[in-house]
Amino acid sequence: MKKLHFLFAIMLVAITFTSCKNDDDNAVAFTQSSIAGDYSFSYLRSSDVEVLINADGTTITNTYLTEGSNFNVNWNFNSNGTFAAQGTYTITYTDTEDGEVIIETELTSIDGEGSFIVNEANGTLLLDFDNDDAQLFTVSNYSGNSFDTRYEEMFSGGGFEDTYVIEIGFVRQ
């Protein structure tokens, strides 16, 4: 189930960029045209921590970690606000449930397209993958050649808490 949650998040990637601010006159402005180009992943990881609080006050914590490697992925961002993503990468899942650790590795593929919108004023980029629900990531270290993204979502209620984080690094090819 967590594998599907992770893959779904990848397919719905939406990114918020927080541009690096420095006094360098050669700094690259974050615009629709400045991000246009081909990128690959430089890293990909996620964590999902679920905490169940029982009526007697005891807690059960389940942790699901994902780490990507062997990236052969191309993300093409076009200045007209469209993108396409194709390729493969390896995912290693480490699931810890009730103290039991399960590690699995599999080859994963991505193949789709969508649209994006850059908001230069607040440094956001919203990706809508295959016209599905979009997600919003914070991004740091935007240089024109690479950027780092982070998405965090928290749910709670009824004795259940869930914190999901995904981090993806992009590097221009």
Provide the CA 135 distance to its chain's centre, in angstroms.
9
* Long-range contacts of residues 94-102, Cβ cutoff 8 Å, at least 24 apart: 94/63, 94/64, 94/65, 94/66, 94/67, 95/2, 95/62, 95/63, 95/64, 95/65, 96/62, 96/63, 96/64, 97/62, 98/60, 98/62
pLDDT digits (tens, 9 = 90+) for 60-72: 899 999 999 999 9
52 neighbors 72 (Cβ within 8 angstroms): no
Please tell me the number of Cα atoms within 13 Å of 91 on its side-chain side.
Answer: 24
- Low pLDDT (below 50) residues in the chain: 1, 4-9, 11-25
Neighbours of 84 (CB within 10 A): 14
Instruction: Write down the pLDDT at residue 75.
Output: 94
Among 60, 66, 51, 57, which residue's Cα sits nearest to residue 1?
A: 66
pLDDT digits (tens, 9 = 90+) for 54-104: 888 888 899 999 999 999 999 999 999 999 999 999 999 999 987 899 999
Instruction: Write down the pLDDT at residue 2.
Output: 53
The predicted model scores a pTM of 0.79
